[in-house]
């Protein structure tokens, strides 16, 4: 009995504190939605948005769309509408179906918004609101952003210089074996002999030769005299 009273007291206190402190009610799986569509693909596009009541008690959840190409309805209803309202008990999840119609749009990027509001069942005050942005890219491709390399201040970028390569053809075997014709050669011009010089080389004056020959003449005369003396005996 005491435990039951204490449990109820805790539940009531938590509910009161949650209301006074502005407790969170909405738990959503996605904070942003992006859709890519290419002409020729199947449409419409379906997406299940999971929402759960994490508040202190039962509340009403209103989900709406702000464009005519994005519909929202409760799973199993199968009706196109831009607004749906559901009462959710505490900790109960639910799937809302988002139905996207890209065939109604031109090529490009389009934006929309899904709004989820939690309303108090007693005084109909709004307890919490969350907005989910939606982007639809139709027949567009993302352009990669070029990577820029920043150099430290004071350091200049050194240009790259590609080396120059000179190609020369090697002679073939026929070119190596074939003699090249000799070109005309210029005639050799011999210098004219000077006066007093023979064509074979320079001449020596007689007065310079006599001192050289004289010792030999004297030796020859001595040998000659010696031979005569020997034969006389």
Per CATH, the number for 27-138 is: 2.60.40.10
Per-residue pLDDT for 85 more than 50? yes
Q: Which residues contact 35 (CB under 8 A, 6 or more apart)?
A: 45, 47, 100, 102, 134, 135, 136, 137
pTM of the model: 0.52
Q: What is the pLDDT averaged over residues 108-119?
A: 97
pLDDT band at 55 (very low <50, low <70, confident <90, very high): very high
Residue pair 77/127 in contact by the 8 Å Cβ criterion: no
Domain residue limits, the chain: 27-138
Residue pair 53/25 in contact by the 8 Å Cβ criterion: yes
Mean pLDDT of the chain: 76
Which pLDDT score is estimated for 156? 46
Kind and range of the H or E element at 30? none
pLDDT, greater one: 85 or 209: 85
Which pLDDT score is estimated for 233? 58
Per-residue pLDDT for 110 more than 70? yes
Per-residue pLDDT for 38 more than 90? yes
Q: pLDDT > 70: what percent of the chain?
A: 61
Which pLDDT score is estimated for 29? 85
Per-residue pLDDT for 178 more than 50? yes
Q: What is the pLDDT averaged over residues 86-96?
A: 94
């Amino acid at each position: 009995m005491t435990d039951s009273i204490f449990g109820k007291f805790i539940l009531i206190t938590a509910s009161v504190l949650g209301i006074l402190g502005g407790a969170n009610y909405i738990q959503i799986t996605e904070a942003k939605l992006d859709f890519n569509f290419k002409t020729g693909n199947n449409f419409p596009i379906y997406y299940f948005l999971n929402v759960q009541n994490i508040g202190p008690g039962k509340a009403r959840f209103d989900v709406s769309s702000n464009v005519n190409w994005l519909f929202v309805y409760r799973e199993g209803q199968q009706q196109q509408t831009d607004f749906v309202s559901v009462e959710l008990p505490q900790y109960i999840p639910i799937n809302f179906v988002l139905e996207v119609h890209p065939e109604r749009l031109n090529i490009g990027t389009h934006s929309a918004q899904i709004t989820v509001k939690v309303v108090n069942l007693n005084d109909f005050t709004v307890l919490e609101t969350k907005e989910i942005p939606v982007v639809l890219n139709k027949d567009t491709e993302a352009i990669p952003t070029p990577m820029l390399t920043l150099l430290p201040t004071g350091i200049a970028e050194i240009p790259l210089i590609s080396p120059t390569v000179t190609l020369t053809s090697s002679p073939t075997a026929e070119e190596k074996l074939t003699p090249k014709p000799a070109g005309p050669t210029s005639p050799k011009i011999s210098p004219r002999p000077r006066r007093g010089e023979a064509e074979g080389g320079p001449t020596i004056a007689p007065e310079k030769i006599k001192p050289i020959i004289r010792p030999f003449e004297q030796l020859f005369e001595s040998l000659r005299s010696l031979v005569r003396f020997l034969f006389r005996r």
